[in-house]
Amino acid sequence: MSDTPPLLEVKDLVVEFPTRRGTLRALDHVAFTIAPGEILGVVGESGAGKSLTGAAIIGLLEPPGRIAGGEIRLRGERIDGLPADRLRRIRGKRIGAIFQDPLTSLNPLFTVGQQLVETIRAHLPLSEAEARERAIGLLAQTGIPAPEARFGQYPHQFSGGMRQRVVIALALAAEPELIVADEPTTALDVSIQAQVIALLKRLARERGTAVMLVTHDMGVIAETCDRVAVLYAGRVAEIGPVAEVIHRPAHPYTRGLMGSIPAVDEDRDELLQIDGAMPRLNALPAGCAFHPRCPAAHARCTHERPELMPAGATRAACWMVQAEVPR
Amino acid sequence: MKAALARWRDSDVWHSFRRSPTAIVAAVIAALCLFCSLFAPWVAPHNPFDLATLNLEASRLPPAWMDGGHPSHLLGTDDQGRDILSALFYGARISLLVGLASVLLSLVVGVALGLLAGFVGGAVDAFIMRVCDVMLSFPSILVALLIDGVGRAIFPDAHDTLAFGVLIFAIALTGWVQYARTVRGSTLVERQREYVQAARVIGVAPLRIMARHVLPNVMGPVLVLATIQVAAAILTEATLSFLGVGVPPTSPSLGTLIRTGNDTLFSGDWWITIFPGLMLVLIALSVNLLGDWLRDALNPKLQ
Amino acid sequence: MVAFIVRRLVQAVIVMLTVAFLAFMLFQYVGDPVAQMLGQDATQEQREALQRDLGLDQPFPVQFARFVGNAVQGEFGLSLRQGRQVSTLIAERFPATLELSLAAAVIALVVGVPLGVYAALRRGRFGAQAVMTLSLLGVSLPTFLIGILLILVFSVQLQWLPSFGRGETVALFGSTSWTTGLLTLDGWAHLVLPAVTLSVFQLALILRLVRAEMLEVLRTDYIKFARARGLSDRAIHFRHALKNTLVPVITITGLQLGSLIAFAIITETVFQWPGMGFLFIQAVQFADIPVMAAYLCLIALVFVVVNLVVDLLYFVVDPRLRVEKPGGP
């Protein structure tokens, strides 16, 4: 890794949900970093905790969920546990967010232009006219044709892909250093997905904005990200450069994931599956969360939880890694 | 049966009930009122409607804790010597009976029509929904008054029982629409399910199957509706009786009592009106609280 | 948009005709108008003469057409109880009810909406809980009881405000029937208690509605996104959430105006306010069919007009209804 300090540093993050039947731990000592301008993918099954990580970072965890431990640092400053008004100033200005469904992300009663201008003026000292200029510029940069006309239109007058472009424009409006994108293409047509992802990648590169891209789609990860973190049951199973994690996965879960993706040029009779299912939060196994489904599990895995350990070019939370030599 | 009880005890609803002081208090109060009114002849210290026991000398007594009050008439007496406390119980009995009967009627009619509309669909459905729309835009008081008025015109020398019937019918007519809509919605959803198609193919009466599957789904909202409507029905009946077009004067409800008390309000005998009023509010409030709590408890979005 | 208006107008006409039909049925089949007018010992000839006069020997559709024709001109015949023209009676009483209803509506909105917003934003705190409990009380108290209680406190005990009638009124526009109590202090004093009484139920409903809507809106994705963009709480609550909340509230409130006029029946009875509602109650007690039928038609008209206005208002307020096609990939 380079010597530049990380833009975002998440250490030992614990997110809990107190419920009637006890406290559920949704994120259990999650840790990763994002360098300035880097695109980090966060991948995992539904319920693994990907969206929660994003929500915790921007301080929008829905109660009764709360951060119960760990640190989140933006350029060295702690941002978890900040008072509400300071957190608000970070949101939008230093960390932007994109959510899954562009239809519901925009207020149907306000024009796109109004929503852009208010966001811009909330963070930058611009006049109404200057903000309008900037907003139209943003719309143009996100590839929306006839931006002046579109400025005065309402969200329902845009198609799905266009709306997501507007959402991206809104997220970039105040020039944040990091964008948390939570499944930005899942709700879109397959044909549009590629365009939107390409747009996001291009804009991020142009502005040097880092992106935390949360998704369950490995194809998108492969195309877009520099590094990727694999989440399982609220813990990081493996993290490393994209090419390494995809082609030389160290963690048995990651291996299962990659193995289950069919390749066009392969000749297989059946798809590989990982037996069983990810455990529910109220029934987490002791030790390594994956051990009941792991083909290589042994005694230590059942009672001692592995930390992230170096495994070739990646880091994986698996005891097997210690014994192995580079493959 | 035991399994069902065990499931109930373990359910979220029971748990949330035990946790909610308002719900418990409301339930206790409602149960008390229900008990006192249903068993009025045994619980009340006097029988205010037995003319033989009335003593005009004891008329217009203030409550026991005020000057001139008498301990045997805890809440005072009215201008005919009737004990207010006892009148409360007897009056509440009438109010509750009318309220519960009308809600039951509107529930049965509404659920049946909703099932019919949802299941048969087409013109029948459209017609029923139109009727619902029109009825919804008319406030309940107006509908009840109209039915009552028309009833009076058609049967000018009505028997008391008939008057009750008309009243219950009038109040029921204002409430059935909500049930019909809710049940229809659920029915439409269930009708699309495969098991209904399958049953049709096999030849089983789909109506029976739907009743077995739709009704359990719909019981929750219907129960909430019924609870809230009981309070509304009681208040509607009280209003109608206060206006003189409700229960016959020989079986006074709380509304009638308030009406008679209203005449003496200006002479300062406030207890004749206030205590029936308080009782009415107590019943309505506790039932409304229960309904409110029940709606929150059964709302999956708030879990 | 024009098509929409036309459609609604057609629906309105259908509703009015249905109501007119019901009113007509009342006239025809409830009670015997001839017997009521002539008494029991009229001869057969007198009966037949009156029947011809009243047009009762005509075929059914003709009678209905005549009825509708008369109704449209406001002609409903004579009140059975008072012997006067129904139309005159109603015209005299209408302004009183209108003023009362409008005053109550204003109170309910001006107090109910802010309190509802407050209860939503400060959810869980003591103030909000108190407001919600009070609103539940408001829905559990029957209107007539509220009136009685207010009279007891403010008229009997404190003797601050009058308890019946409308007070001094002034005739407007030189007409004898349109009077208003709003131009005299005495008129206002008389208006206070009845208006407050009438407003309580609506206030409680609006309060609970606004709160529920606002809570729903605050849970939406677009509010979440607005927060994620770093907008201030004030902007989120009072620019975005409030606007989204008020849109459905407008329609419901508009519909409530109709029920206000109906609930006015009770309030007018308690306070002896000389409005249409009081007239209606007396008609019901007396089985005065012409008055009942006229009231029914008038109320239906008010409802239909209010519904139409509310629908149009929706157009103005919600851009999604001004149908335009989405464009672009």
CATH of the domain at B164: 1.10.3720.10
Stretch A24-30: mean pLDDT, rounded?
88
Question: Which of C320, C326, C329 is facing A192, going by the closest CB pair?
Answer: C329
Examine residue B151 and state whether it is found in any structural domain, yes or no: yes
Number of Cβ within 10 Å of residue A174's Cβ equals: 19
Q: Mind telling me how many Å the CA of A318 is from chain C's nearest CA? A: 35
Cα(A180)–Cα(A41) distance, rounded to whole angstroms? 10
- C85 token code pair: 């023209």
Examine residue B9 and state whether it is found in any structural domain, yes or no: no
Nearest CA in chain C to A106: C222
Question: Which of C227, C320, C328 is facing A91, going by the closest CB pair?
Answer: C227
Pick the closest to residue B234 from B182, B272, B277 (CA basis): B277
Nearest CA in chain A to C222: A105
CB within 8 Å: A118 and C231 = yes
pLDDT of A326 higher than 70: no
Q: Higher model confidence: residue B264 or residue B182?
A: B182
pLDDT of B48 higher than 50: yes
Confidence of residue B303 (pLDDT cuts 50, 70, 90): very low
CB within 8 Å: C148 and B142 = no
Residue C173's pLDDT is 61
Question: Which of C31, C137, C262 is facing B153, going by the closest CB pair?
Answer: C31
Average pLDDT over chain A, rounded to whole? 85
Find residues 243-262 of chain C whose CB sits inside 8 Å of chain A.
243-244, 247
Q: Give kind and range of the element (H or E) at residue C123.
A: none
pLDDT of C239 higher than 80: yes
Pick the closest to residue C279 from C139, C90, C124 (CA basis): C90
pLDDT of C199 higher than 90: yes
C285 and chain B in contact, CB less than 8 A? yes
Write the single-letter amino acid at C216.
Answer: E
Examine residue B121 and state whether it is found in any structural domain, yes or no: yes
Phi, psi of C216 (to 5 degrees): -60, -50
Q: Mind telling me how many Å the CA of C307 is from chain A's nearest CA? A: 22
Q: Give kind and range of the element (H or E) at residue C170.
A: strand C170-171
Q: What is the dihedral of CA C231, C234, C235, C241, to 10 degrees?
A: 110
Question: Which of A92, A107, A159 is facing C240, going by the closest CB pair?
Answer: A107
Q: Higher model confidence: residue B167 or residue C26?
A: B167
- Subunits with 3+ Cβ pairs within 8 Å of A are C
- Subunits with 3+ Cβ pairs within 8 Å of C are A, B
- B207 token code pair: 């109506």
Examine residue B158 and state whether it is found in any structural domain, yes or no: yes
- Subunits with 3+ Cβ pairs within 8 Å of B are C
> In the beta sheet, which residues pair with residue A16?
A25, A66
Average pLDDT over chain B, rounded to whole? 78
Contacts of B258 in chain C (CB under 8 A): 144-145, 148
Cα(B176)–Cα(B105) distance, rounded to whole angstroms? 8
Contacts of A92 in chain C (CB under 8 A): 228-231
Confidence of residue B300 (pLDDT cuts 50, 70, 90): low
A114 and chain C in contact, CB less than 8 A? no
Pick the closest to residue A323 from A303, A298, A291, A290 (CA basis): A298
Stretch C253-257: mean pLDDT, rounded?
77
Residue C328's pLDDT is 43
For C38-77, what is each residue's pLDDT tens digit? 666 667 777 777 666 666 666 677 777 777 777 777 677 7
CB within 8 Å: C328 and A167 = no
C239 and chain A in contact, CB less than 8 A? yes
Give the number of C-alpha atoms closer than 13 A to the C-alpha of residue A266, restricted to the C-beta side.
10
Examine residue B19 and state whether it is found in any structural domain, yes or no: no
Residue B26's pLDDT is 82
For C297-322, what is each residue's pLDDT tens digit? 888 888 888 878 887 887 777 777 77
> In the beta sheet, which residues pair with residue C170?
C180
Question: Which of A122, A158, A167 is facing C230, going by the closest CB pair?
Answer: A122
Pick the closest to residue A144 from B301, C327, C151, C298 (CA basis): C327
Question: Which of C220, C229, C319 is facing A91, going by the closest CB pair?
Answer: C229
Mutate to test the interface with B, among C40, C140, C211 (most CBs of B within 10 A): C140
- Please check whether residue C9 is in contact with residue C301, taking contact to mean a CB–CB distance below 8 angstroms: no
- A246 token code pair: 């995809």
Q: Mind telling me how many Å the CA of C286 is from chain B's nearest CA? A: 8
Distances in Å between the Cα of B111 and the Cα atoms of B96, B211, B288 are 22, 11, 22
Q: Higher model confidence: residue C27 or residue C198?
A: C198
Cα(B53)–Cα(B81) distance, rounded to whole angstroms? 9
Q: In which residue are the tokens 């109930």 written?
A: B8
R_g of chain C computed on alpha carbons: 25
Number of separate domains in chain B:
1
For A234-288, what is each residue's pLDDT tens digit? 888 889 999 888 888 888 888 888 776 666 666 666 666 777 777 877 778 888 8
Q: What is the dihedral of CA C242, C246, C247, C248, to 10 degrees?
A: 130
Which residues does A288 contact at the CB level (< 8 Å), separation at least 6? A294, A297, A301, A302, A304, A305, A306, A317, A318, A319
Between vectors from CA C172 to CA C167 and to CA C174, what angle results, nearest 5°? 125
Residue A213's pLDDT is 92
Cα(B43)–Cα(B64) distance, rounded to whole angstroms? 19
> In the beta sheet, which residues pair with residue A236?
A231
3-state secondary structure of B213: helix
Examine residue B59 and state whether it is found in any structural domain, yes or no: no
C265 and chain B in contact, CB less than 8 A? yes
Distances in Å between the Cα of B108 and the Cα atoms of B118, B170, B182, C37, C189 are 15, 15, 13, 42, 47
- A34 token code pair: 């994002």
Cα(C310)–Cα(C313) distance, rounded to whole angstroms? 5
CB within 8 Å: C148 and B262 = yes
CB within 8 Å: B289 and C258 = no
Question: Which of C320, C327, C329 is facing A108, going by the closest CB pair?
Answer: C320
Residue B13's pLDDT is 66
Stretch C157-161: mean pLDDT, rounded?
78
CB within 8 Å: C229 and A157 = no
Q: Higher model confidence: residue B268 or residue B242?
A: B242
> In the beta sheet, which residues pair with residue A41?
A213, A228
Q: Which range marks the domain in which residue B261 is found?
A: 32-48+73-302
Q: Mind telling me how many Å the CA of C241 is from chain A's nearest CA? A: 9
CB within 8 Å: A157 and C326 = yes
Q: Give kind and range of the element (H or E) at residue C180.
A: strand C179-180
Question: Which of C221, C232, C328 is facing A105, going by the closest CB pair?
Answer: C221
Phi, psi of B199 (to 5 degrees): -60, -40
Q: What is the pTM of this model?
A: 0.80
Number of Cβ within 10 Å of residue A120's Cβ equals: 24
Residue A312's pLDDT is 79
Residue C161's pLDDT is 78
Cα(B293)–Cα(B290) distance, rounded to whole angstroms? 5
Write the single-letter amino acid at C255.
Answer: L
Cα(A126)–Cα(A122) distance, rounded to whole angstroms? 9
Stretch C17-34: mean pLDDT, rounded?
71
> Is cis: bond before A252, omega within 30 of 0?
no
**Parallel/antiparallel/unpaired status of strands A235-241 and A314-316:** antiparallel
Return the minimum-mean-pLDDT range out of A28-32, A141-145, B248-252, C175-179.
C175-179
Examine residue B193 and state whether it is found in any structural domain, yes or no: yes
Q: Mind telling me how many Å the CA of C16 is from chain B's nearest CA? A: 11
Q: Mind telling me how many Å the CA of B149 is from chain C's nearest CA? A: 5
Cα(A242)–Cα(B29) distance, rounded to whole angstroms? 66
- Please check whether residue B252 is in contact with residue B67, taking contact to mean a CB–CB distance below 8 angstroms: no
Highest mean pLDDT among B82-91, C49-58, C128-137, C170-179: C128-137
Mutate to test the interface with A, among C222, C238, C322, C324 (most CBs of A within 10 A): C222
3-state secondary structure chain A: CCCCCCCEEEEEEEEEEEECCEEEEEEEEEEEEECCCCEEEEECCCCCCHHHHHHHHCCCCCCCCEEEEEEEEECCEECCCCCHHHHHHHECCCEEEECCCHHHHCCCCCCHHHHHHHHHHHHCCCCHHHHHHHHHHHHHHCCCCCHHHHHCCCHHHECHHHHHHHHHHHHHCCCCCEEEEECCCCCCCHHHHHHHHHHHHHHHHHHCCEEEEEECCHHHHHHHCCEEEEEECCEEEEEEEHHHHHHCCCCHHHHHHHHCCCCCCCCCCCCCCCCCCCCCHHHCCCCCCCHHHCCCCCHHHHHCCCCCEEECCEEECCCHHHHCCCC
Return the minimum-mean-pLDDT range out of C46-55, C179-188, C252-261.
C46-55
Confidence of residue C329 (pLDDT cuts 50, 70, 90): very low
Average pLDDT over chain C, rounded to whole? 80
Write the single-letter amino acid at B139.
Answer: P
Q: Higher model confidence: residue B51 or residue B115?
A: B115
Nearest CA in chain A to C319: A109
What residues in chain B have their Cβ under 8 A from chain C's Cβ atoms? 134, 137-139, 141-142, 145-146, 148-150, 152-154, 156, 231, 235, 238-239, 242-245, 255, 258, 262, 265-266, 268, 270, 273-274, 277, 280-281, 284-285, 288-289, 292
CB within 8 Å: A101 and C221 = yes
Examine residue B21 and state whether it is found in any structural domain, yes or no: no
Cα(C288)–Cα(B150) distance, rounded to whole angstroms? 10
Write the single-letter amino acid at B278.
Answer: L
DSSP H stretches of helix in chain B = 2-10, 12-19, 21-38, 40-43, 84-120, 122-136, 140-154, 160-191, 194-202, 206-242, 254-263, 271-298
pLDDT of C33 higher than 90: no
